[in-house]
Amino acid sequence: MTELKGKFIWYELGTTDTAAAEAFYKKVVGWGAQDSGVKDEAAPDKTYTIWSAGEVPIGGLMALPAEACAAGARPGWIGYIGVKDVDGFAEQVKRAGGAVVFGPADIPTVGRFAIVTDPQGARFTLFKGLSDQEMPTLPPGTPGTTGWHELVTSNWQGAFDFYSGLFGWVKGEGMDMGAMGTYQIFHIGDMPAGGMMTMADRPPSWGFYVNTDAIDAAAARVRDGGGQVVNGPMEVPGGSWIINCIDPQGAAFALVAPKR
């Protein structure tokens, strides 16, 4: 992994049953999965699995620590955002009203990271790889890659100001959702990368939409694998189709496809 300034570069699932989660996502999304070989000296029996789309690594899978579960942690996904200086950006997060949850700390032979929250409480990870060589990438829309990043928050305007100030993200189109308010698209660089919306009845969090070929077939795979489709299929502006889902261990995720 390497830093790509202000961009989402990695997606990590922490869960209570890694074997079951691996089987589920391999079936639903088509990811490959391989032991990273990176070991934690404090917990040598634990493994870190690398998700891949084709031959390209795109994320990771790990067991939630027992102490985290005891403290109320639940299975879920977190996004890594590349930065030039993890420690410096962690300090910027705090100055901008966010918080540092863990770190900064080193991942031996891999890089440095810190788990942080924005001012509304949504978590993400700051990351800087040891190498400055860029990761291989796949064309937009490739099945198994992440096609959209969605922030549900208590105040999208405040959240946008935070991320814009930290990473230089810029506003795209603001879509009127009627009683639900504005769905604000944001760009990372010159490309639309996701959206933000205010939903006071949900804890602030990031959600990730994984590309797949066709949404009805994907929904069937979710259900066959023991997951739930909690919203959709729904057509969104631009003609894509989405579903929002819960995996068998309780982690929320979403899928997006160019056709029904």
Q: What is the mean pLDDT of residues 147-170?
A: 97
The CA distance from 251 to 229, in Å, is 12
DSSP 8-state code for residue 16: S
Percentage of the residues of the chain whose pLDDT score is greater than 90: 81
Going by C-beta distance under 8 Å and a sequence separation of 6 or more, which residues neighbour residue 51? 11, 25, 31, 32, 33, 57, 58, 59, 60, 61
Q: Copy the structure tokens of residue 227.
A: 């997951």
Model confidence pLDDT, tens digit, residues 225-260? 999 999 999 999 999 999 999 999 999 999 999 999
Region 83-109: mean pLDDT is 96
Query: What pLDDT, in 10s, does the model give residues 179-233?
Result: 889 999 999 988 999 999 999 889 999 999 999 999 999 999 999 999 999 999 9
What's residue 2's pLDDT?
40
What mean pLDDT value characterizes the chain?
Answer: 93
Contact by Cβ (8 Å): 28, 227? yes
Instruction: List Cα–Cα distances, 3 to 7, 56, 75, 146, 151, in angstroms.
Output: 8, 16, 26, 17, 22
